[in-house]
Structure 1
Amino acid sequence: MSEVLYEELDVLIVGSGISGIGAARYLSTESPSTTYAVLEARAASGGTWDQFRYPGIRSDSDLFTFGYEFKPWTDKKAIATGDKILAYLRETAAEAGVDEHIRYHHKVVSASWSSEQARWTVEVDRADTGERVVFRVRWLFGATGYYDYDEGFTPRFEGREDFEGQITHPQHWPEDLDYAGKRIVVIGSGATAVTLIPALAAGGAGHVTMLQRTPTYVLPLPSEDKIANLLPKIFGAERGYALTRRKNVWMQQFMYKASRRYPNAVRRFIRNTNARALPAGFDVDTHFNPPYDPWDQRLCMVPDSDLFRTISAGNASVVTARIDKFTRNGILLETGEELEADIVVTATGFNIKLFGGIAIDLDGRPLVPSEHVAYKGMMLSGIPNFAFSIGYTHASWTLKVGLLCEHFTKLVNYMDANDYDVCVADAPDMTTGPLLDFSAGYVKRSIDMMPRKGDAAPWAMSLSYIDDVRLVRHGSVLDEFLQFSRVDDDRTVVA
């Protein structure tokens, strides 16, 4: 590949999913003089919602909180299908002019910070032309999420090569997979599995079995929010949306706090709800009563009890057991039972890949994320002019992302107004712990490679949207930890 200097920009956003589009929209509207581009490795925008195409893909949060604060969700369904979410994201990008800034087929390979120049040099491979292009930018914004989009997680299963049927991972669902009349075993019990099972049954599968090692908390919710659909008629679209969003934020916070404070009561509530939705005599305690407390792992929401209705209709079943090995005809369990299958779906989770796998260095020193502490959940200690966005794990992802994108734009504007070139957060002198305090498998497998968090603001990873609104939206961009400087000065300016 030939290397050419392509262009200089103020901000380079990596990723055109929900975080990248959100960051770009705030720059477009709140900082119109800032030059920026959004780099997307794939051929289309939408991130997760464009790449993941498995049957039934949908949100597991209501769209009144999963959607952007500035863009009302107007569909009558609160729990939305993937195609509707994708259309919403692309409509948002078009309305804000963000789509004109997206460069497709641009895969970021490396990013190098020069303290002397106060610039990031970002090398990019273009899949459409075969060229390598270079950007020099003031700010780098990682909107890549934290999943490895190239490969999902699949445990090593003994005898897998002996299975004569088809094995697929939801992350790479074959477009031509014909499952009509087939016996399907879905390995896993998380959000992807509970989404797939009713969709596969409705799509004509002969029978679907959810094979899980450990149960997950599953809570049915109505797919339509009657109050949300009524409020816009009374108060108008924008005000009605804002009120619904506030209501649902409160409900999410209430459910989470109740789960942490009164885990046994919430466990009983979920169990009793499940028992009422399942056939008489169904073994709820074996299949839907986990050995851990609610919200130790994320609760799975099922719209209109679709999973339970599918089980009740006899089109799906649940088996809770450990896998011994794959066989020619299916899966042998440690109990000695064999589950026969034509198709096995490994809904076994994801791998983590921070910042899209970009090779990042500072003056030639490679970035090791675990050596740094997250500042406000959007910067890393000691790393100049680098921001990222990670949403909530216990509530709608976009609630946190929206606040971070808004705050990032304020930070860029502050630096412009004061002619600063460099912004860096000094490492705190405090006890630190894992960035994500969450027992999900993908988190535990990657805990050693992730940044750290502190035990007090602005270094703690708040789980409260209300607290984050105070800190990130209404709080100043200045504090004792954030330092600003100019490259033509010998001194560092402390805010």
Structure 2
Amino acid sequence: MSSILDASQALGLELPPRARAIPRAPGVGGDVRVITPVGPPERIVRPETDPDPMDNAEDRKIFHLSPPPVYRTPNPRELDVVFVGSGISGMTFGIMSQWRLKNVNVVIYEKNASFGGTWFENRYPGCRCDVQSHIYQFRFETFDWSEAYAQWDEIFHYHSYVFAKYGLSRLVQFRHAVVGADYDEERAKWRVTVEKTDEVTGKKERFERECDVLVNGTGVLNRPKWPDTPGAELFKGELVHTAQWDESKDSVDGKVVGVIGNGSTGIQVVQSIGSRVKHMDHYVRTPTYMQAYLEGGVKLSPQRRGQFRDPAFTRQFMRDTYMNREKYWVMFTSAEHKLNKLVVKRALEYLEKSVKDPELRAKLTPHFAYGCRRPIFSDDYYPTIQRPNVSLRREPIKRFWEKGLVLDLGDGREEMRELDMIICATGFAANWVSKFMPVRGRERRLLADDWASHPEAYRTLTVNGFPNYFMILGPNTPPTHNSLIISCEQQCNYVMQMIHALQHNPLIKSIEVKLEAQRAFAKEAQDWLKTNSVWNVDCGGWYRYKNGYTVQWPGPALHMIDSIHSVDWRHYSVEMWNDPSSYSMHTPWTFKALDKRELRDDELTIQAAKL
């Protein structure tokens, strides 16, 4: 079994004092986990000498993955591609591009000092993945995980090993933040503005880079969302967001702490620091369903861990688990579905068994369908919330004051809570746009303006008015029930089909999804989601916008993967440098459209039941 490589060894990073430090190797400093020893990969895998690691025929069949696109000419047109972000999407695209793209200059810009995205930025107390470790990994690179649900630092070190083994340092430039992108219609070029930060002095310098194709892989969970409660500037204590946690200075020991939010992050923080604080208030607006961890809990028995050390066993586990989760997807079609009711029953039984006080139990009881908010797994939250030094507060937060928070008790009454530290576990701005990276398409259209009320894209991947621009894990991607890494692979391969199309004929100026195709997909998806899913009510989750627009996919993960198996050229406009009639797209790329029949409720139910 391969060992992982410490990030500093893999990349030779020397971070300035003000930058977030590369985490220490897991297992150091009293950590009881037994981690695979760190060390370099046996060798660097290269496309010149090694087969495509993602091209596994059996996996293609099981996960419905597209085959690698094939060049039909020995000398395809040279292109420049800029990819933004080196999280899971960037790493997937970077690895895949080395085998599936020819004559393409790929550069990946990363704003941080290291790769990893979410698992580099998030390191709050108790931070761990809420998806089982052995399906939250690249299917072509298994790993000897120490726990069934890995903590952030072990995930980061796994990524460091993958990063080193597949030579991604050849493509990625760190401390390079993309701060703007403008499409030049006349030249069919994207002008990308990049801000480079000197690793020693911290000095920032901007430059422009042109490219033919721009791929945004920044995802959605990377822009911290602060509470909209007024008066934050008045608070004199420590105010911190979990996504900006600095373990070198953010200490909770012996303090009176308030935690705002009860998604996965808020739950993990509360159960992690309950025994360390003098007192803690957990502020919860909407309770959510909770279950005990699967696979017998967070820990792996020596016997179970030994089984997972066999790559063949792990790969089969990944396949079986993924397909089982696809079967269970049908529970999200209705609160009245028997499977949804069964899971609600089990979650409430777990609550009743764990919390004896009926008043507290009532405060923790949700009143919506299972899955409307992201399901949470925890073995420790219920015991923590019943500690004598921990309080659950359901009253609305009215405002900040200099010493803490003011609660609205109703009938004009208020309660002023004094706190040393307020931790905002309030998630991320799930709008797929960033004020720090304005994207302008045709006629200087700003994507953020188009998406002011909600983000609308064609099958998660691209937007009308923004030619040769693609997204990985864009709007409507989030799978509630399954690992997103397989979906990420399929989306990357779809973009590479587009790049191949641009390369095959130098007369092609740009490829752009038709507005009618984008709107037709959005309408069919929203119509289905509003009438046939558990996300059609406001339960406080981030999948649904205030205007009712839902960013879930209208079907199971394999349904999405099938819908982007190949490019349906009927849905795209191909702009030519000269006579538009001089070239037409050929059938090898054609795939059946995601039409109205495929989005019917009975079709989806039947498909899910047959999986």
With normalisation by structure 2, the TM-score equals 0.69
Q: How does 1:157-172 map to 2 (within 5 A)?
A: 157=230, 165-172=237-244
Counterpart position of 1:457:
none
Q: How does 1:272-421 map to 2 (within 5 A)?
A: 272-276=349-353, 278-281=354-357, 283=359, 285-302=361-378, 305-311=379-385, 314=388, 316-326=390-400, 330-335=404-409, 339-352=417-430, 354-357=432-435, 358-368=437-447, 369-370=450-451, 373-390=456-473, 391-395=477-481, 396-419=483-506, 420-421=508-509
Asked if 2 retains the 8 angstrom alpha-carbon contact of 1:142 and 1:355, the reply is: no
Counterpart position of 1:241:
314
Letter in 2 for 1:170: T
Consecutive unaligned residues of structure 1, counting only runs of 5 or more, are 1-7, 454-459
Secondary structure of the structure 2 residue equivalent to 1:270: helix
Asked if 1 retains the 8 angstrom alpha-carbon contact of 2:79 and 2:503, the reply is: no
Asked if 1 retains the 8 angstrom alpha-carbon contact of 2:525 and 2:554, the reply is: no
- How much does 1:315 deviate? 5.6
The share of aligned pairs that are identical, in percent, is 21
Q: Identify which range, 415-424 or 18-27, moves more after superposition.
A: 415-424
Q: Identify which range, 209-218 or 249-258, moves more after superposition.
A: 249-258
**CA distance 1:187–1:373, shift in 2 (3 Å):** closer
- The alignment status of 1:468 with 2:543, answered yes or no, reads no
Letter in 1 for 2:330: K
Partners of 2:206 and 2:553 in 1: how far apart?
37
**CA distance 1:130–1:284, shift in 2 (3 Å):** closer
**CA distance 1:337–1:96, shift in 2 (3 Å):** same
RMSD, aligned α-carbons = 3.2
Consecutive unaligned residues of structure 2, counting only runs of 5 or more, are 1-77, 530-534, 587-611
**CA distance 1:49–1:399, shift in 2 (3 Å):** same
Counterpart position of 2:63:
none
Partners of 2:446 and 2:400 in 1: how far apart?
41
Counterpart position of 2:72:
none
Letter in 2 for 1:206: K
Secondary structure of the structure 1 residue equivalent to 2:274: helix
Partners of 2:181 and 2:157 in 1: how far apart?
31
Asked if 2 retains the 8 angstrom alpha-carbon contact of 1:394 and 1:463, the reply is: no
Letter in 2 for 1:362: G
- How much does 1:121 deviate? 1.7
**CA distance 1:46–1:148, shift in 2 (3 Å):** closer
Q: How does 1:13-412 map to 2 (within 5 A)?
A: 13-128=83-198, 130-147=204-221, 149=223, 151-157=224-230, 165-174=237-246, 175-202=248-275, 204-221=276-293, 222-224=297-299, 229=305, 231-232=307-308, 236-237=310-311, 239-259=312-332, 260=334, 261-262=337-338, 263-276=340-353, 278-281=354-357, 283=359, 285-302=361-378, 305-311=379-385, 314=388, 316-326=390-400, 330-335=404-409, 339-352=417-430, 354-357=432-435, 358-368=437-447, 369-370=450-451, 373-390=456-473, 391-395=477-481, 396-412=483-499
Higher percent of residues as strand:
1
- How much does 1:254 deviate? 4.2
Asked if 1 retains the 8 angstrom alpha-carbon contact of 2:442 and 2:465, the reply is: no
Partners of 2:271 and 2:173 in 1: how far apart?
37
- How much does 1:398 deviate? 2.5
Secondary structure of the structure 2 residue equivalent to 1:334: strand
Counterpart position of 1:4:
none
Asked if 1 retains the 8 angstrom alpha-carbon contact of 2:458 and 2:522, the reply is: no
Asked if 1 retains the 8 angstrom alpha-carbon contact of 2:107 and 2:171, the reply is: yes
**CA distance 1:324–1:133, shift in 2 (3 Å):** closer
With normalisation by structure 1, the TM-score equals 0.83
Partners of 1:214 and 1:403 in 2: how far apart?
35
Asked if 1 retains the 8 angstrom alpha-carbon contact of 2:285 and 2:395, the reply is: yes
Cα deviation, 1:413-447, whole Å, max 9, x if unaligned, reads: 34434554422221226373598965555455676
Asked if 2 retains the 8 angstrom alpha-carbon contact of 1:372 and 1:382, the reply is: no
Letter in 2 for 1:405: C
- How much does 1:144 deviate? 0.9
Cα deviation, 1:40-72, whole Å, max 9, x if unaligned, reads: 122222222212221111112123333222222
- How much does 1:155 deviate? 2.1
Count of residue pairs brought into register by the alignment: 469
- How much does 1:102 deviate? 1.2
Cα deviation, 1:9-53, whole Å, max 9, x if unaligned, reads: 521001111211111111123225421001112222222221222
**CA distance 1:80–1:37, shift in 2 (3 Å):** same
Counterpart position of 2:9:
none
Q: Identify which range, 17-26 or 248-257, moves more after superposition.
A: 248-257
